[in-house]
Amino acid sequence: MNLSFLRHGVAADAGAPGAADDRGRPLTDEGREKTSRVAVGLQRLGLGFDLILSSPLVRAKETAEIVAGVLGAKKALKFSERLAPGGTLQSLVDELIRDHGRCEEILLVGHEPDFSHHIAVLISGRPTLQIEMKKAGLCRLQVDELRAGRCATLQWLLPPRLLARLS
């Protein structure tokens, strides 16, 4: 199984118009444009996903919808509270195994610092490994047998700037 982690694009600040609370913060115009370029970069890399699982928060949802649209994968798009800020790796792994165990290519769309923590634990078994996920950045892991511990190999960690250049 390959797990790809995509951090949401640039979002409006908390309290900005249309963003009354953290859950409702939308992507900015810059965030939508950069995310679109990143999605085209993913397409040019030939990536496709059996499942695109996103946090339900507006900024992540918009990011996932842009990517699904560009990749022609709208039917693969689902949402999970386990990807909202503060969701645990164990609950996410449990959901992936229980509900999506047959998927080989999975894109997770969510937030920091959770993604860095999850990636670190999946690669090293500890949350102390330093991973920096830029907004609209992508990390891809190869997983032999998914569990909430060391089970993955880092394939690549791409900043949005590089992905956008592919578009």
Residue 107 has pLDDT above 90, yes or no: yes
List Cα–Cα distances, 50 to 22, 73, 119, in angstroms. 29, 8, 20
Q: Percentage of the chain with pLDDT > 90?
A: 92
Q: List helix spans (H) across the chain.
A: 29-44, 58-71, 89-100, 114-124, 160-166
The full set of domain ranges for the chain reads: 2-166
C-alpha count within 13 angstroms, C-beta hemisphere, residue 130? 0
**Distance (Å, whole) CA 45 – CA 162:** 12
**Which class is domain 2-166?**
alpha beta
- How does strand 138-143 pair with strand 105-110? unpaired
pTM value is 0.96
- pLDDT of amino acid 93: 98
pLDDT single digits (tens) 83-97: 999 999 999 999 999
- pLDDT of amino acid 21: 84
